[in-house]
Amino acid sequence: MSEALHELTIHAALDGMRRGDFNAVELTQALLDRIDQVDGQVKAYLTVTPELALAQAAAADARRAAGDDAPLLGVPLAIKDVLCTEGVRTTCGSRILENFVPPYTATAVQRLADAGMVMLGKTNTDEFAMGSSTENSGYFTTRNPWDLTRVPGGSSGGSGAAVSAQEALAALGTDTGGSVRLPASYCGVVGLKPSYGRVSRYGLVAYGSSLDQVGVLAKDVRDAALILGVMAGHDVHDSTSMPTPVPDYQAALTGDVRGLRVGLPDEYFIEGVQPEVEAAVRRAIDVLAEMGAEIVRISLPNTDKALPVYYLVATAEASANLSRFDGVRYGFSAGADSILENYRESRGQGFGAEVKRRIMLGTYALSAGYYDAYYLKAQQVRTLIKQDFERAFEQVDVIASPVAPTTAFRIGEKADDPLAMYLSDVFTITLNLAGMCGISVPCGFDNAGLPIGLQLMGPHLGEETVLRAAHAYEQATTWRSHWAQPEKAGVS
């Protein structure tokens, strides 16, 4: 083969295994060797599970020999470390869960396992998925494979970096305010955020329950569609999962966008966007137009309110969700004499600064004197943001925009300025507030050689259309053939 095994897409790897060119054990060993080669620099993984991976690969080979042809049979993947995995520690990037080993597996992960996935390990994340750079991990900062002095995005930065550095054929991430799409953009891979309720959240350690969604980071759109098709669907364990049939997402990848109406929102092309980012996104939109798509100018007028709304809703939900980490039932316990002191010491020592900041913001917003003025008002404005999208999708099929205002910034550059960090998500949080779907697909590089992502957004349960548009653009361009080389990475 012309490509090394770790360089393959999922669909190419499956074709190779079906032909007998190599088996799952050989493929998995190639990925483990790649992790050994580059992860000391990239730091994508919190936990690597080589023994488990090779055992699962051997089982996959036995299944294939017996005539099984499950959709992900023998495919080595990585899992963001906020998804529970039975028998494998799940830290959420936090010291408070450093030694936590779940007794069950998240539904999304279990469906991949049932389809034959090989799990390489658990990837680094901002603590409890709170961050845009993976600098908030309680363990270490993951580095961008294109430039090791820069962030990979967050909070699914470990998953984005693992796919970009070709340390996994794909990875699961989660997206509460852009945490799949931002690392995809910064790391030059595909990042798919499904609609709220499309994928079960059972076994996902909750941050913002009305915002969280399990997503995919992949090498190309076809791989993302394949994984979504496996893990999507109703789950009796998650009351928010949609009891609607799962389409054949791969069948939607026709390469044809003729007649597709693409909306350009005025509010997403604003002052402050890095010029190279805007230029690359506008060129991508021109490509879609040349392929027969109709470009329509639209407005999402409440976009400027999204950031404060998000950081009230998300932090309020985080305040409630993280109250369970009390030093009593599981996770780190300070072992103090009184129960109140044990609460205080366990949470004080176990949580990092950003998690404490968000808990305090959320607790304040939910407090008796401020609930109506802050949290309730935020929920009302959230409805207006959702209605903006619903009106827009009466006029267009997808909406195109940048993923982030800039390319990947330097490690430490925004660490002391939380607001500047929060602004990294300004183009992604609206989709989570509205519960709709979106994808980041590579569309170019800036002058420093850093990747740029095109965001395509769709209505609730509109993944087929979003994937169709993203795949057609991907096939019409060559960005998918560019890969980071962390083993040779210089610094810009």
**Residues marked as catalytic:** 80, 155, 179
Q: How far apart are the C-alpha atoms of 53 and 42, rounded to whole Å?
A: 20
Place of tokens 């109709």: 294
What one-character DSSP code corresponds to residue 103?
S
Q: How far apart are the C-alpha atoms of 378 and 310, rounded to whole Å?
A: 8
CA trace torsion 247, 212, 172, 18 (10° rounding): -10
Q: Is the dihedral of CA 399, 400, 404, 405 positive or negative?
A: negative
**3-state SS of 120-185?**
EEEECCCHHHCCCCCCCCCCCCCCECCECCECCCCCCHHHHHHHHCCCCCEEEEECCCCCCHHHHH
H or E stretch including 77? strand 76-80
Residues 6+ apart with CB under 8 A from 410: 149, 150, 151
Of 165, 75, 179, 69, whose CA–CA distance to 125 is shortest? 179
Q: What are phi and psi of 159, to 5 degrees?
A: -65, -40
Q: How far apart are the C-alpha atoms of 428 and 169, rounded to whole Å?
A: 25
Q: How far apart are the C-alpha atoms of 370 and 372, rounded to whole Å?
A: 6
Place of tokens 């928010």: 240
Using DSSP bridges, classify how beta strands 451-458 and 398-402 pair: parallel, antiparallel or unpaired: antiparallel
DSSP 3-state percent helix, strand, coil across the chain (nearest 5)? 45, 15, 45
Q: In the sheet that 76-80 helps form, which strands lie side by side, from edge to edge? A: 45-48, 118-123, 76-80, 170-174, 214-218, 190-193, 437-445, 451-458, 398-402, 261-265, 294-298
Asked whether the beta carbons of 193 and 435 are under 8 A apart, the reply is no
Q: How far apart are the C-alpha atoms of 213 and 215, rounded to whole Å?
A: 6
Strands (E), 178-283: 190-193, 214-218, 261-265
Place of tokens 């580059």: 38
Q: What are phi and psi of 83, to 5 degrees?
A: -105, 125
